[in-house]
Amino acid sequence: MSPASKPNIGISCGDLNGIGIELIIKVFSDNRILDQCTPVIFASNKVINFYRKSVPEINFNYQSIKELSRINSKQVNVFNCWEEEVSITPGQLNETGGMYAIKSLRAAVEALKQNHVHGLITAPIHKKNIQSPGFNFTGHTPFLKSFFNVNDVVMMLCAGSFRVGLVTEHLPVKEVAQNITRENILSKLTILHQSLMKDFGIEKPKIAVLGLNPHAGDEGLIGKEEEEIIKPALKEAKHSMIVTGPYSADAFFARRYHERFDAVLAMYHDQGLIPFKTLSVGEGVNFTAGLPAVRTSPDHGTALDIAGKNKADASSFLAAFFECIDILRRRNDYEESRKNPLRKMTSEVLANAEDEKIEEQ
């Protein structure tokens, strides 16, 4: 995809009984989106039509396709991943909802890998009912890591300039500490640093790292991980990036220190996501950093309690759409600047001048 072209954006439908398809209809019914991209929804006509009835005030039109070579750039496209009749029961957690969510996801990521779509937005899946002998992942992030056969990725939550990455993701709390290793921290920092430059256009990213224990260990009084693992990892990372910490997580967010940095690396899921979701006010985006392709999703789950009731707020899904488009464009700009030495040099001169200006102040 060239920087000037209109990208194809794939959308997986998520759990059939959750709010995913309702959100897709609400977001992609706005024809102005066709100026930004060509949407390709991986589902079936029947499931789209089922949920279209639950939002009668919205006029949602699409073209049905069975071959990705037939994508129409002037319309929303629905790629039929299955033809059979499927029982849709909004609000119910069952095997059917999970099985067809994975059919949609697999078709979408295969299209992404084959470059039929240039970016992917994933609607929410439920971690329990997606489990099967053929799919034993705890969510999108580990599945995408395996599918694209990359060594590591970072689950990153974004809301404007507020970005939080995680060292560990969906792990029981009792297993977190054993997975906080120097190697894991350095790997996540490297991916996060590269993504901030490549995907977010930040020339010299500044990253804050949180401690694992209360008060970041209080110099070894409350746990040894900060002194023995995290600080040595940060000392090594400082050779190639701007990174500081470890910070006490409670004071860090309470004092709004996150506003001083381009990203924060948290040690575990709730440490990073509770403050993020509290402060991002429902407009957060989940982004998988470290993949060769761009994937975003809303920062919420299937919301089975309101599924099929026309109550779902599309703000986070819409933010995921815009972030996907923006990251694709920034990646193109980054790659183009590396092809053009003069453009890269100009960018570096401007960045250095800005640093000197800040130092003078």
Give the chain's mean pLDDT: 92
Average pLDDT (9-33) is 96
The pair of three-digit structure tokens given for residue 80, joined into one six-digit string:
């039929």
Answer yes or no: is pLDDT of 166 > 90: yes
Strand bridging mode 162-166 / 154-159: antiparallel
pLDDT tier, 352 (very low <50, low <70, confident <90, very high otherwise) = low
Residues in the chain: 361
Place of tokens 């800005």: 354
Q: Are 26 and 55 in contact (CB under 8 A)?
A: yes
Nearest to 113 by CA among 82, 86, 85, 147: 147
Structural domains of the chain in order of their starting residue, each with its CATH number = 1-150+291-361 (3.40.718.10), 151-288 (3.40.718.10)
Residue 268 has pLDDT above 60, yes or no: yes
What pTM was computed for the model? 0.90
Q: With bands split at pLDDT 50, 70 and 90, how would you rate the model's confidence at 361? A: very low
Quick: pLDDT tens for 48-57: 999 999 999 9
Burial class (CB in 10 A: 0-12, 13-18, 19+), 59: exposed
pLDDT digits (tens, 9 = 90+) for 78-136: 999 999 999 999 999 999 999 999 999 999 999 999 999 999 999 999 999 999 998 99
Q: What's the average model confidence in pLDDT over 130-159?
A: 95
The pLDDT tens digits of the residues spanning 274-307 come to: 999 999 987 899 999 999 999 999 999 999 999 9
Express each pLDDT in 210-238 by its tens digit.
999 999 988 889 999 999 999 999 999 99
Asked whether residue 152 carries a pLDDT value surpassing 80, the answer given is: yes
Q: What would the mean pLDDT of 156-174 be, rounded to a whole number? A: 96
